[in-house]
Structure 1
Amino acid sequence: MSFVLGPIIKARFLERSNRFLVRCVADSLGCLSAHLPNPGRLWELLLPGATLYLNRVADSQGVRSTARKTEHTVLAVEREGRPIFLHTHATNQVARYLVERRMLPSLNSARVVQTEVTVGKSRFDFLLRENGEDLYLEVKSCTLFGNGVAMFPDAVTERGKRHLLQLAEMGRSGLPSMVLFLVHYPGVRWFMPDYHTDFDFSTTLLKIRKDVRILPAAIGWKKDLTLDEKVKVLKIPWEYLKGEVKDCGSYLLLLELKKERVIEAGSLGRIRFERGYYIYVGSAMGKLKARIARHQRKHKSSHWHIDYLTQEADNILPLPVRSSQRLECEMAQSLCSIMQQGPARFGSSDCQCVTHLFWSRENPLHAQDFHRFLQSFRMRSP
């Protein structure tokens, strides 16, 4: 089954101009801008040179729409030789197709009654009819996966959390509800909320799981962007999550220095820091959110080596790795193989590691090796 109108154009990803616009280059068209109908971070997918699948926006007569600034839309991106569907609006069409064809085991007696249904102050994707009862269905598109695990969301979503709370309230009041997490990659077994990225959404999902039906399902796409007819229902390791979704663990700080600086780093003395990107590895086995918030404050008393560097950094991005285990030193050892080591003993005076600070001229978020490293700690099978 195809959900794409018109021919597919392949292009190479160059950069993301904003949340909904990318720059890319196609052999037949040259450099162009395309609409990206997906607000997620997509860091591990939109890497320099990644293959994008585009189509040209036109009306039913094939005439270009004049209501849009861009002529093309991003439909998918290739990862590991397979297209990963990115079009969040079209994902609802896919969900409807799966329901109507009875391809979702727990919804094989349901039919679509209405789309875009408003209840209170929230709007949900579908109203279904199942065994004579109404069922409200919200669809979430999931593209974050690795090591047999799929996770949602890949960015903080207040709207997603609000949907969960509203659906749970409806469920408790006698209005059955469900969330369908549609994972656009078939090679996974487990589904989990991304508690590293959105702790509040994840804790909310755990709290409401008895009031809302939760269905994670994995699908696949062929090279011509037709849907593979196989659907896999994924497992959610609730007991594992109860032990891991806590405000503790390790973290990375991604710091950018736009120019070279000489910084007084406490007991380490004066250190010359080249311009570029630095990764610092730390841990807090309690109050992790508070520790990260402290690092992001510019005005504070300097206590650790990293405090001196954060005060000089032009940009700071925290990357939490929540876990019941202290992974700090293991993460530092793994980083040694993909980044250059920083000053000796930086952040590691209380352990045997050479350093907990690493450097790269280019942004690590643009490197596939860095995302593999990050997923190896964030996305571990239970």
Structure 2
Amino acid sequence: MKFSDPISEGKLVKRYKRFFADIETDDGIITALTPNTGSMKGLLDAGNKVRFSSNDDPKRKLKYTLEQIKVKTSWVGVNTGLPNKFAMELWNSKSYKPWTKYPFARAEVKINDKSRLDMALWKDTDLGEIKKFQPALLEDHKFHFIEIKNTTLGEDGVAMFPDSVTSRGLKHLHEMIQLVEAGHTAEMLYVVQRTDCETFQPASDIDPEYAKGLKEAKKAGVKVTAMACDLKKGEIRLNPEKLLKVHLSY
């Protein structure tokens, strides 16, 4: 995905109140939106290089958005609003073989009255393109459901998720298990927005319940995929040749 807005660089001063970051630029200190509700553990040292986008839309409260932070040798993408776009772009590219058997895809699919998942893929030509995805479709048709998690935490070559306790994430795991039990297929896709990791595992020290839930989901038949991105100043893409080894035994 290429950024449509200009990308500039600066240095991190601080992140505060979860959604704000002060950035030092050549023109002074600016405040940027931080589109990430996690702890961003390991990323927030003052002085770290950052990349931020700018948008002059008068309806925006803040002109700038924090996009990437450099940690040691790797840039790390922190915008949690982007991985779903990366995944849809990957499906459209037909470059990830396991997804090429599905000619149809839709983002943000409602699976019941209270929950949505990030993507659904399907083969059924009788369905074709679905303008409005309804939970009732699950009764008579089979889908491949995908839940996408932005992964920024990394230590010693190991990417980890989550970076803070996530009850919502655990709920998604339980829903994926239920979908598999109902005859669908399901996949957890961990989008690793950094280039310095070779393996992936759940962050059991941060959220042991999530780690346990992921292990149970894998045992139940949910596919667990961790894929790294190629990060450039003006572009980020999932790279299907950069699949990380997944370790769930801990």
Tell me whether the two structures share a fold, i.e. TM-score over 0.5.
yes
Higher mean displacement: 151-160 or 118-127: 118-127
d(CA) in 1 for partners of 2:97, 2:190: 14
Which runs of no fewer than 5 residues in structure 2 stay unpaired?
126-141
1:112, distance to aligned residue in structure 2 (A): 4.5
Q: Which has the larger radius of gyration?
A: 1
Change in Cα spacing, 1:184 to 1:11, as seen in structure 2 (3 Å) is same
1:198, distance to aligned residue in structure 2 (A): 0.5
d(CA) in 1 for partners of 2:13, 2:104: 40
Change in Cα spacing, 1:185 to 1:122, as seen in structure 2 (3 Å) is same
Answering whether residue 91 of structure 2 is matched by residue 99 of structure 1, we say yes
Query: Which residue, 146, 151, 159 being the options, matches 1:150?
Result: 159
d(CA) in 2 for partners of 1:189, 1:136: 25
1:101, distance to aligned residue in structure 2 (A): 1.4
What amino acid is the match of 1:237? H
Query: Which residue, 41, 44, 49 being the options, matches 1:43?
Result: 41
1:214-264 C-alpha deviation (Å, 9 max, x unpaired): 1111122124434375631122234xx1xx3xxxxxxxxxxxxxxxxxxxx
d(CA) in 1 for partners of 2:174, 2:82: 25
Q: Runs of at least 4 residues of structure 1 off by over 4 A? A: 130-133
- For the 8 Å contact 1:221–1:227, the answer to whether it is kept is yes
Answering whether residue 18 of structure 2 is matched by residue 19 of structure 1, we say yes
d(CA) in 2 for partners of 1:186, 1:226: 11
1:68, distance to aligned residue in structure 2 (A): 2.6
What amino acid is the match of 2:65? T
**Equivalent in the alignment of 1:115:** 107
d(CA) in 2 for partners of 1:181, 1:229: 12
Q: Secondary structure at the match of 2:231?
A: coil
Q: Counting helix residues as a fraction of each chain, which structure ranks higher?
A: 1
Change in Cα spacing, 1:111 to 1:17, as seen in structure 2 (3 Å) is farther
**Equivalent in the alignment of 2:53:** 55
What amino acid is the match of 1:213? K
Q: Secondary structure at the match of 1:96?
A: helix
Query: Which residue, 121, 136, 141 being the options, matches 2:145?
Result: 136
**Equivalent in the alignment of 2:133:** none
Higher relative contact order, chain-length normalized (CA < 8 Å, sep 6+): 2
1:169, distance to aligned residue in structure 2 (A): 0.7
- For the 8 Å contact 1:82–1:223, the answer to whether it is kept is no
What amino acid is the match of 1:161? L
**Equivalent in the alignment of 1:364:** none
d(CA) in 2 for partners of 1:178, 1:85: 22
1:71, distance to aligned residue in structure 2 (A): 0.8
d(CA) in 1 for partners of 2:157, 2:7: 29
Query: Which residue, 23, 31, 34 being the options, matches 2:32?
Result: 34
Q: Counting strand residues as a fraction of each chain, which structure ranks higher?
A: 2
Equivalent residues in 2 for 1:1-382, closer than 5 Å: 2-28=1-27, 30-57=28-55, 64-120=56-112, 121-130=114-123, 133-209=142-218, 210-227=220-237, 229=239, 231-238=241-248, 241=249, 244=250
> What is the RMSD of the two structures over their aligned residues, measured on CA atoms?
1.9
1:125, distance to aligned residue in structure 2 (A): 0.9
1:15, distance to aligned residue in structure 2 (A): 1.0
d(CA) in 2 for partners of 1:196, 1:49: 27
d(CA) in 2 for partners of 1:76, 1:184: 9
